[in-house]
Structure 1
Amino acid sequence: MRKNISYLLTVCLFCLFGGQIAFAQGQDKEVYLFSYFKGNGDGLHLAYSTDGLKWESLNNDSIYLKPILGKDKLMRDPSIVQDDKGTFHMVWTTGWWDQGVGYASSKDLINWSEQKNIPVMEKFTGTRNTWAPEVFYDKKDKTFYIFWASTIPDAYPEVETTTNEKGLNHRQYYVTTKDFKAFSDTKLFFDGGFSVIDGAIIQKDNKYYLFVKDETSVPTEKNIRVTSGDKPYDFPTQVSAPISENWVEGPAPLQVGEYVYIYFDKYRSKKYGAIRSKDMQTWEDVSDRVSFPSGTRHGTAFTVSPEVLAKLKK
């Protein structure tokens, strides 16, 4: 009888604490968020995923932060990273012909700080635009890298463009900061010898990979290429052959298990696509397997804790 009672107690304790352990382990599972805009730049939207394939909108696809900066008061291309203290930092395109980028921070992605303009290109006379800023946080030296695409007239040899691009000839520029109060001088970030926009970085196995959109129009490219180096700047200017189809933009890298996914905006067909790789050399197109909220435009993907997602769902 005593043996039976002892056995039953053991089973009950295992069920109780084992279940709690299993629950805790489930709670520790990484989840993923995707920041994006809709329309011409209506504000910050968020979607989540647990597998990197199916993305569901949060807050009924409503806006978490509405833009108030810039000539056009837009919020396009929202890029978000989280620092080692848990704060989220976001930069975005404030307008079609502005010379600065927008910035705000948040502890929970719900309540945001005052929106501020970072005048990154104001010292470069005649700068046409400041597009698609991306923020990357390098944990090694606790430094933020903010990089974007701008056209400075006559700064580089002209490339053939179509008339609807208004003669823009982009290169990537950047600043660094540790606190979003003091910034380095603006410098050239990447010049591959062609018009380039939409840079994005991911770190994997002690290497940094820079994904960019080749904006060449004649012959038509409009595709994603990649280069890599041992630090998050001074990337080799020699890029890979195209790793995506043409007429895509806004590459957003994300590590999901053994794969690195690159999501991109198929802006002509108004839907999202993706490729993935295990070795960063061979890429598999999985566009037919991913799903995003209707109307999703150029954003970024990042990892968060289950607690962050739980608060967003409330």
Structure 2
Amino acid sequence: MKRIFSVVLLLILMQHNYAQLLLKNKVLMFASFRDNGEDGLHLAWSKDGLNWTALKGDSSFLTPIVSKDKLMRDPCIIKGPDNLFHMVWTVSWKDQGIGYASSKDLVHWSTQQFIPVMQHEPTALNCWAPEIIYDEQHKNYMIYWSTTIPGRFAAGDTSGDEKYNHRLYYVTTKNFKKYTTAKLLYNQGFNVIDATIQKAGKKYILFLKDETLKPIPEKNIRMAISDDLNRGFGKPSASITGHYWAEGPTAVKAGNKWMVYFDKYTEGNYGAVISTDLVNWKDISAMVHFPKGTRHGTVFSISINEFKQFFK
């Protein structure tokens, strides 16, 4: 009996070790929102990628003030080569722009900006779940999001929720003052939202949500791959998530492990899958623990010294 117990315990420990994301001299951070996004930015931290602790008593670090709805949903934060943290977010369910602010320490933030990324498309219904990535090749930032423009795409026009048939769009900027005109980033003939892009060697991995509802619901997370950051993403992979509805993927790599977190929004909790080859994925949702009420967020890392300095 003792031997059986020891073997079971060893297997559990091995599984836990496989699932952990241990970044040397780094702390994982998670930016998210609560409820409808009215109170703003929430931050949590983790050392193993599994157990997450809310900062500031799970109260807001930044209250939204831009757009008529003044929401801060789907916050995405990256650290740029200028040593500033740059954040974009969804400001409204129906607006044609997104929010932007920057910070040196994740606590004190610049004046919030409204970026009218789709106002040149007067019938555009929305700008949802913007994310941001730094393009090392072109030395600029790329901001991307999902928008529905009624009648623009026939494929998928009756397969989504209500009147929505999203595609992914992007702009670039060097200084967060001037922006290029929005261009189409991803259209593979289906309703797609909640994109996040990670660089993997010389390729780019686009994690996305298949938003198809009819005739058979998808509502899952898939992948597409390209050699270029803002073009060439092909047909999506099979779903990497399980038999539940998932949205808001966000990914991080530590060593040879990829972890993709997502909002299991119909169940009111968070899930995760892990892989070492971006092909075979293991669902470890039962092993991740986020602060209650965590909604559609993004993961990033900071140094241990930054963590101690910012949140002392």
Match of 2:273 in 1: 275
Greater Cα shift, 110-119 or 231-240: 231-240
Residue deviations 1:238-289 (CA, integer Å, cap 9, x gap)? 1101111241100001112321110000000100000011111111111111
Secondary structure at the counterpart of residue 286 of structure 2: coil
Correspondent of 1:38 among 34, 54, 58: 34
Say yes or no: does 1:187 pair with 2:164.
no
One-letter amino acid of the structure 1 residue matched with residue 277 of structure 2: D
Match of 1:239 in 2: 236
Secondary structure at the counterpart of residue 310 of structure 1: helix
Match of 1:107 in 2: 104
Per the TM alignment, residue 84 of structure 1 is displaced from its structure 2 partner at its CA by 1.5
Correspondent of 1:249 among 247, 250, 258: 247
Contact 1:72 1:95 in 2 (8 A): yes
Contact 2:76 2:131 in 1 (8 A): yes
One-letter amino acid of the structure 2 residue matched with residue 230 of structure 1: D
Match of 1:133 in 2: 130
Match of 1:300 in 2: 298
Say yes or no: does 1:82 pair with 2:75.
no
Unaligned runs of 5+ in 2: 1-21
Query: Could you tell me how far apart the structure 2 residues matched to 1:54 and 1:192 are?
Result: 36
Residue deviations 1:220-245 (CA, integer Å, cap 9, x gap)? 00000101111211133311011112
Query: Could you tell me how far apart the structure 1 residues matched to 2:283 and 2:88 are?
Result: 29
Contact 1:44 1:64 in 2 (8 A): yes
Query: Could you tell me how far apart the structure 1 residues matched to 2:301 and 2:55 are?
Result: 15
**Identical-residue share of aligned pairs (%):** 47
Residue deviations 1:82-138 (CA, integer Å, cap 9, x gap)? 012210000000000000000000010011000000000000021111100011112
Please list, as runs of the form range in 1=range in 2, the aligned pairs for 1:139-158 lying within 5 A after superposition. Answer: 139-157=136-154, 158=156
Query: Could you tell me how far apart the structure 1 residues matched to 2:237 and 2:57 are?
Result: 39
Query: Could you tell me how far apart the structure 2 residues matched to 1:105 and 1:84 are?
Result: 13
Match of 2:7 in 1: none
One-letter amino acid of the structure 2 residue matched with residue 256 of structure 1: A
Correspondent of 1:310 among 303, 308, 311: 308
Greater Cα shift, 111-120 or 199-208: 199-208
Greater Cα shift, 178-187 or 101-110: 178-187
Query: Could you tell me how far apart the structure 1 residues matched to 2:115 and 2:181 are?
Result: 12
Query: Could you tell me how far apart the structure 1 residues matched to 2:25 and 2:58 are?
Result: 24
Contact 2:225 2:234 in 1 (8 A): no
Secondary structure at the counterpart of residue 306 of structure 2: helix
* Normalised TM-score (structure 1): 0.88
Greater Cα shift, 139-148 or 289-298: 139-148
One-letter amino acid of the structure 2 residue matched with residue 304 of structure 1: I
Which ranges of 4 or more aligned residues in structure 1 deviate by more than 3 Å? none
Larger Rg belongs to = 1
* Normalised TM-score (structure 2): 0.89
Correspondent of 2:118 among 117, 121, 135: 121
Say yes or no: does 1:52 pair with 2:53.
no
Kindly tell me the number of residue pairs found equivalent between the two proteins. Answer: 287
Give the root-mean-square deviation of aligned CA atoms: 1.5
Secondary structure at the counterpart of residue 238 of structure 2: coil
